[in-house]
Amino acid sequence: MATGTLVTYDLIDGAIAVLTFNRPEKMNALSTALLAEFEAHLQTIERDPAVRVVILTGAGGKAFVAGADITEYSQQGFNAFVSYQLNSRRLFDWLEAFPKPTIAAINGYALGGGFEIALCCDVLVVSTSARLGLPEGTLGLSPGGGGTQRLTRAVGRYAAADVLLSGRRLSGQRAYELGLAAEVVEPDALLDAALDKARYMLRIAPLAAREMKRLIRTGPDAALPTGLALEQEVLFRLYNSRDAQEGIAAFVEKRDPRFVGE
């Protein structure tokens, strides 16, 4: 386990990284320092071929991330505020494009930037106590880390408007009904449910996982013929990989494949 002041890093089964936002006294609110630690951990994980899946969650049980630290906002001038937002967007964009599967295990509040982080992840697992929302309008602001765009793409224009223009919070069950969450579980089962999904993800060859992530991310913004052409181009490239040849051989030989990420 690698522990930081604001984000902790646990390695499970030698292949699953669990990053925990660790400001429970502030509902794990985002700050410049927390985001720097988060980015440093992601850099370490990206470089480590042994780590195959990343789980994000929050400490304390009450929140995943309850948004930005508004006290820090209140002390920033305009230029510092702009710099913070641009850096957050860069980091969130990188998280969305991260080459390894990411799971958000949402316990309690995921508001503002916390919800935006979750929307950058590949799979969301939520507890029955989860509350997700983008309440920036109640501060006279709007989301700046992708919330308006990613939520709209995820659930459609009208459901997104219902959240954004009212500031209301989605329950874990409602997030599941909208297709945002893959599973909703009781709070004490949340991490186990996320780990169960991560262990299934370990069955997928690393190169295939990375390419399928890219197809999922880019496909909906392309015309269908373009997306289908990209899909086949990916398939043809993967067929020539060592992992594909190993996977096919393992299936024929009725054994578990030994993927190496090449």
Residue linked to tokens 């992708």: 146
Residues, the chain: 262
Name the catalytic one among 96, 136, 177, 183.
Answer: 136
CA–CA distance, 245 with 226 (Å, rounded to integer)? 27
State yes or no: is 136 an active-site residue.
Answer: yes
CA 37 to centroid of chain Cα atoms: 16
Which of 114, 5, 1, 136 has the alpha carbon at shortest distance from 57? 114
Distance CA 50, CA 2 (A): 15
* Catalytic pick among 46, 72, 96, 116: 116
Residue 39 designated active-site: no
Residue of 187, 190, 237 lying closest to 212 (CA atoms): 237
Please give the structure tokens belonging to residue 185.
Answer: 């579980």
Q: Which helix (H) or strand (E) holds 229?
A: helix 224-239
Nearest Cα to Cα of residue 55 among 212, 211, 191? 191
Q: Give the DSSP H/E element, type plus range, for residue 119.
A: helix 113-120
Question: Which of the residues are catalytic?
Answer: 116, 136
